[in-house]
Structure 1
């Protein structure tokens, strides 16, 4: 049965043809943003969101097109090399933006093209599928830690340590440093939340300085003694466009570490919640067959993706056929999660349906900035969830799940479960 929300706006949102007034940090919204998205879909493919200060695009077709449209970028480049300037940043954020300045997320061609090519070459040299046995072993070991208890808080016991360990080992960083990496990552990612404070900014800057120093030491160690890891591959990688300098390498590793675990942590929690709340008779059967498991993972990504907001900036004056007009330098907010539930492309979009057919979810973006870690994330989800549902019969919710106050990067505070021992 489709649990489709009404197209009427929730009480905490004021929606009209002229736009939407809504604080993204209203608990009624970040606990369940989908009724609001349904109301926005009833208006059209985009609407002006006052609190965000720019148009918000919800239509699947328009979001997909804007992700691929080269008249839009992540930043407005300061010069021909495709880098941002960041000249006007406050002093208390100089360490944070020293990393961001070389990050793939904040670059455009030609610098983005060069760095992305080197990163992809390093990923290919590692062959993500080779990680499958290690991911499976980690999942089994984590489950061993609570399989006899009959209950577990999944976010801390399983969803967090698995992807953190995988990405750390892939990069070439010891898993014993996972706690440090998690702390730095959480403090840095908080910079992207709506309504951040100066205290959040200062914490992010301190984390960036510490993370940067840590990676610099790791690079020095790998230069002395390389290994079969991504960091060693980045040091060795060369193309016709040249190699990475050390600042670029540091920013790349920080991005891979932060993005390489945060989204997967949240998707494990969001996905397990979705499966259990859907009331499927035997969730384990969804992952017993690899093809069915792959389709179930895609539906998890569509149904409740962690990444809800991805900003683009107009690189020139643009007027689209849908009526959206932007001047050079103006931002547009692409609401990926809303696009994934567009009723124009998905029948009963608010129903979790592993057998669903239709366009691929936009959860990893598209175009120039498509997530380089998407294959790894999909592999981790398929293997980890197969082990979880196979090992824990009768898995069920033990308490109502609650989401964090972090709408842009949606994830559960905790997921308390019970199961049969």
Structure 2
């Protein structure tokens, strides 16, 4: 295909099932492309990694060149945005610095390490259910309930609230998808409003019933007299709840599928359990849990021969960067659990917006992958369906015979 005519179109039929040929075409078309819908997209590892570490903005107030889906309004109002526009995901320094500092006081490495026995317990229970069934949906039995249960228990959310919270977060997470229809945007706004109210009530209940949990710690987090406001607290809890399980579900499901499709690598992981940490990074590189990131340029940005104007919406194609042969070599499209630089994947961000829960994601995956391939050496894929998403692309079902 001519690089002059190629337009990146993730709505193309079949994209969600296998987007990687499209990302290869995107890289071949040049380091930066201006999309007809009014945004820029960059796809090479060096450029995406640099953008992640740059001081460019995540705050839509800086937009001067509106992409098509925002052109109906000349003003971007924070109060109309998901999570009130107050989560760390939507903040620049100094607000981001302050929020992350306060949340980090509750979300500590020690608190993550203390979860390992519970993660191991839940994984063993899930593997036992799968073994007993003989044929099972790995997403329903393992990849979803594990991270969902862990983040719910971390936050100290009563079990009776789990079902509705799950339903609402499955809708709110669609805000991270590009090209959402007007109907979908209405559903997102309604779910966001209800979720905001639910979290407000949970915080009120937790203030009266404090416990040894993350939500109690967030309520009391303090730095030189500074504490989270009520709306800031609600927004961070919503963000942690959604981010705390959605990306992990995707990573666990796609990672297991990749191992089953590459039995030589599964055999190697069984034989060399010390590869587990590197395997997590390589599986994350090979099939990225989050495909796209966005920044708003605060100054002109030079990418290759292109100068992107200040105030532009720029998308970094993480999934394209993670298979860029200019960085990874000719075998960028192959799964190699011993890849020495797999940790340089861009899946979990970098700089000030590096994923706060990276250690939790990696710990859960480091336990799941080797135990799954060891417990089920003859496992085979019966069928799978994809969730149809572009950004948080993952499996809706993965039926496996063990």
Fold match by TM threshold 0.5: yes
Counterpart residue number, 2:372: 388
Residue of structure 1 in register with 2:97 after alignment:
113
Deviates most, 337-346 or 99-108: 99-108
The answer (yes or no) to whether the contact 1:159–1:265 under 8 Å persists in 2 is: yes
Report how far residue 30 of structure 1 moved: 2.2
RMSD: 2.2
Q: Find runs of 4+ consecutive structure 1 residues off by over 6 angstroms.
A: none
CA deviation profile, 1:312-352 (whole Å, cap 9, x unmatched): 11112x14262331222111110001101110111211100
Q: Sort the Cα spacing of 1:332 and 1:87 in 2 relative to 1 into closer, same or farther, 3 A.
A: closer
8 Å CA contact 2:8, 2:26 repeated in 1: no
Residues 22 and 50, structure 1, Cα contact 8 Å, conserved in 2: no
- 1:392-421 CA-partner distances (Å, limit 9, x unpaired): 23111112x3322211111012111111xx
Could you tell me whether the CA contact under 8 Å between 1:75 and 1:108 is conserved in 2?
yes
1:60 counterpart (45, 53, 59): 45
Partner of 1:366: 350
Distance 1:183 1:277 in 2: 31
Asked if the contact 1:302/1:340 (under 8 Å) is kept, the reply is yes
Unaligned runs of 5+ in 1: 1-8, 10-14, 79-85
Cα deviation per residue 1:355-394 (whole Å; 9 max; x = unaligned)?
1122511001111111101110000111122332233231
Displacement of 1:282: 4.5
- C-alpha offsets along residues 120-172 of structure 1, whole Å, 9 cap, x if unaligned? 11111752111000001111122222312211111112111111000111111
Take 1:287 and 1:226, find their aligned partners in 2: how far apart are those partners? Answer: 43
Matching of residues 211-360 of structure 1 within 5 Å? 211-240=195-224, 242-280=226-264, 282-283=266-267, 286=269, 291-316=274-299, 318-320=300-302, 322-347=304-329, 348-358=331-341, 360=344
Q: 1:35 aligns with which of 21, 33, 41?
A: 21
8 A Cα contact 2:260 2:266, kept in partner: no
Distance of aligned partners of 1:67 and 1:73 in 2 relative to their CA distance in 1, 3 Å threshold: same
Q: Is the 8 A contact 2:32 2:303 kept in 1?
A: no
Distance 1:379 1:148, change over 3 A: same
The aligned residue for residue 3 of structure 2 is 16
Q: Which moved more, 1:142-151 or 1:409-418?
A: 142-151
1:209 aligns with 2:193: yes
TM-score, L = length of structure 2: 0.91
Contact 1:168/1:257 (<8 A) preserved: yes
Retained in 1: the 8 A contact 2:40–2:312? Answer: no
CA contact (8 A) 1:342 1:349 kept: yes
The answer as to whether partners of 1:58 and 1:338 remain within 8 angstroms in 2 is yes
Deviation at residue 202 of structure 1 after TM alignment:
1.9
Question: Which residue is equivalent to 2:70?
Answer: none
| Residue pair 1:102, 1:248 contacting (<8 A) in 2 also | yes
Name structure 2 gaps, 5 residues minimum: 63-72
After TM superposition, the structure 1 stretch with the greater mean CA deviation from structure 2, 247-256 or 199-208, is 199-208
Distance 2:131 2:350 in 1: 39
CA contact (8 A) 2:301 2:308 kept: yes
C-alpha distance in 2, partners of 1:31/1:412? 9
CA contact (8 A) 1:398 1:416 kept: yes
